[in-house]
Structure 1
Amino acid sequence: MKVQSVRARRAGMGVTAFGVMAATMVLAAPQAGAWVGNLEVSGGSEHKTGCSYTITASVEIDRLSTVKFTDNGADIPGSPVAPSLLSNKVTIKWTPATAGNHRLEARQILISDSIDVQVTAGSGTGSLGCGGGLGGLLPSFSG
């Protein structure tokens, strides 16, 4: 009888310890970061139509579920994107077609993060007007 009660007590302590660890992980998870968040767009504060930018989101918890990227509610071509198991970042290329306010969103399952980006009309000179190509090599002469 005594051996069985010792085993039962040890099993009970093991189950209790597991429950405490599980509860700690659940309670600590919101402070560790969201599933998807920290949405950023390359290009600083100036974005133009016809230019290509990189949207980056952090994936802190779930690196198995895809991340869906949208621009004003419409899927961005190439979305959804599968995160890398080795990195906590997921990226997609975005080329705005219209000027105005764009709400960019990254969604993973039920968690999302969004930012608003103001886009102006591009110069129509291709990559030169986007700050890429030779445009980044030539100095600006505007005063």
Structure 2
Amino acid sequence: MNIVTPDGLVYNHHATLVVVKTTAGELGLMAKHEPVVAPLTIGEVRVRRVDNPGHEDAIAVNGGFMEMSDNVASIVADSAERERDIDLSRAEAARTRAQRRIEAAKAHDDVDELQRAQVSLQRAINRIHVKTGK
């Protein structure tokens, strides 16, 4: 299982189970799963590692796509951050900024800015969820 962003490799471990959030819903993949390509939404990726079966790694992923081929799951994401690397106070500040931007966009009837702010809010909430497990 590996996750790559434009900034480089974010995650790379052997896994027994990978769960991703696709545009069609959650998708779980185990070893020897048939080949598949799926577009991803903003969401949490959960990975049960071979070397630590009682633990799941959590990674905040912001869109992209996932491919399962030749018994390897790969994610190419716009951005991704492992749970251990998420700065909770920074994510909470991003949520607050996005909420303010949403209110300002509504007040000015700015549809484009409203959409961008809503995506920013989703990303911040996803990072908070991955970090806190809530």
TM-score normalised by structure 2 residue count: 0.29
Higher helix share: 2
**TM-score, scaled relative to structure 1:** 0.28
Looking at secondary structure, tell me which structure has more strand per residue: 2
